[in-house]
Amino acid sequence: MTAIQQDHPPEQPHLSDQAQGHGHGHSHGHGPATPVSARLRKIIAAVLIPFTVAVVAGLIVLWPGGTPDHKAQGRSGLGFDQTTVAGRVVKVEEVNCADVNAQPQAPTEPGQDGAAQNGAPGQGGKKSVCEKATIEVTSGKDKGRTFPEIVQPNASRHFSAGQELKLAYAPKAPKELQYSVSDVDRSMPMALLAGLFALAVVVVGRLRGVFALVALAISFGVLTLFILPAILQGSNPLVVAVVGGSAIMLLALYMCHGLTARTSVAVLGTLVSLLLIGVLGSLFIGWASLTGNTDDQTGLVHGLYPNIEIRGLLLAGVIIGSLGVLDDVTVTQTSAVWELRDADPTTSRRKLYGAAMRIGRDHIASVVNTLVLAYAGASLPLLLLFSVADSGVGTVATSEIVAEEIVRTLVGSIGLVASVPVTTALAVLVVSADRTPAADGGVERVADAGGAQTAQAARTGRGGRGRRRRAKGR
């Protein structure tokens, strides 16, 4: 084995000695990872096993039980619990608004006169034209029943013949008012888009893509079955977010990237960054006196469930929102360190850290920009309102509704930036810990795939040849 290692030219990157010498096959999706020694595995396990046990204990303690309050009391803020049936637009025809007793709203654009009321001629003597849609009930006990739906000229939603709808059913209302249009049926386009997404992930990612989809389903399950119900039942939103986010992190990372030391380093880097985000978020949300009650949805939740801590809900949203991007950064940095080490096993820790950080700096620039644009896109209507306001930039930026988004963005970005050096340093320490200088100037690695200790002097002649070549170059 030593003779084979000596024949390798020093400039050629190669895989780990153990992968060549012991025939260890790596089935993890991010390349042939260098195994670490049993001692290092014990150290990593000593940190992650108690953390995992704590997460499992938190899930058990905080797991919601019984019937949620909104179901027990038969109330809902958004009306999603009402009885709905399927419907379809049979035909659409234009009618005079006055003939169907519709009163169109007056236009509010500057410089225009009021529109005709009750069908009276408006500007230019034109009558207001409404749409009369005939809706057919296509499911339930009243299948085949039809009813009219009047659409105002300035309505945001218009119907077309054959369009599928969701109809709300109110059994206690008068017969002619029992059915009304609740929403458009979007099942087909949403299912098609989800199918295209899953197909793209599987075609490009193959088996790794399948695991990623499973991890996505698990993450969604933790969110809907644990995080949301636990918050509704009165548990502290921050504690629930930390426990649920940690569970998502452990399941997603290990399922997608394998139960390896490399994945464990990414988990540790993500955990440290999440703790930093939690501390900074708690500090600045309190210091800036942010209440978290800045929109209609939050106000509705607070009105229905006064026991929910809205400020904690804001901080929980910051943590969960940053988790997905953090996973990407930490996994990428850890993989970069491992690949750089495999390409040049003789490099020092300082050089390895510097090379990985150069990759990380490029990643930081793109990820921070992505996070800021994601929050800006979600708040685009709000930004449009402030763009036409007469207030100065400072006044707008320090108003609570904008300051909340700024704190959310900046705290998450600080955590992302910090995750790069933290994860890189952890990965460099772990990947370099098994390599010690050999007596002949080479490199000795102590590890094998099964954890058995082997002392293997690698590339015994490379150090001398490398020095002779450098001397000739001078």
Task: Kindly indicate the confidence band of residue 99, based on its pLDDT and cuts at 50, 70 and 90.
Answer: confident
| Token digits of residue 157 | 């939603």
Average pLDDT of the residues in 282-306: 77
For 160-201, the pLDDT digits (tens) are 888 898 888 888 888 888 888 888 888 899 999 999 999 999
d(CA 113, CA 116): 9
For 435-455, the pLDDT digits (tens) are 544 434 444 443 333 333 333
Task: Kindly indicate the confidence band of residue 107, based on its pLDDT and cuts at 50, 70 and 90.
Answer: very low
Give the pLDDT of residue 105: 55
Answer yes or no: is pLDDT of 209 > 70: yes
Average pLDDT of the residues in 229-253: 87
Give the pLDDT of residue 469: 43
Give the pLDDT of residue 15: 36
CA distance from start to end of the chain: 32
Average pLDDT of the residues in 227-247: 87
Answer yes or no: is pLDDT of 81 > 60: no
Mean pLDDT of the chain: 74
Give the pLDDT of residue 32: 47
Q: What b/e sequence results for 58-84 when a residue is b if at least 16 CB atoms lie within 10 Å of its CB, and e otherwise?
A: bbeebebeeeeeeeeeeeeeeeeeeeb
Between 108 and 275, name the one with better pLDDT: 275
**In the chain, what percentage of residues exceed pLDDT 90?**
12
Between 46 and 397, name the one with better pLDDT: 46
Give the pLDDT of residue 281: 87
Give the pLDDT of residue 202: 94
Answer yes or no: is pLDDT of 131 > 70: yes
Answer yes or no: is pLDDT of 461 > 60: no
Give the pLDDT of residue 304: 74
Average pLDDT of the residues in 78-87: 71
Average pLDDT of the residues in 257-283: 88
Average pLDDT of the residues in 401-430: 87
Answer yes or no: is pLDDT of 118 > 50: no
Average pLDDT of the residues in 206-216: 89
**In the chain, what percentage of residues exceed pLDDT 70?**
70
Lowest-confidence range among 81-95, 175-189, 391-405, 426-440?
Answer: 426-440
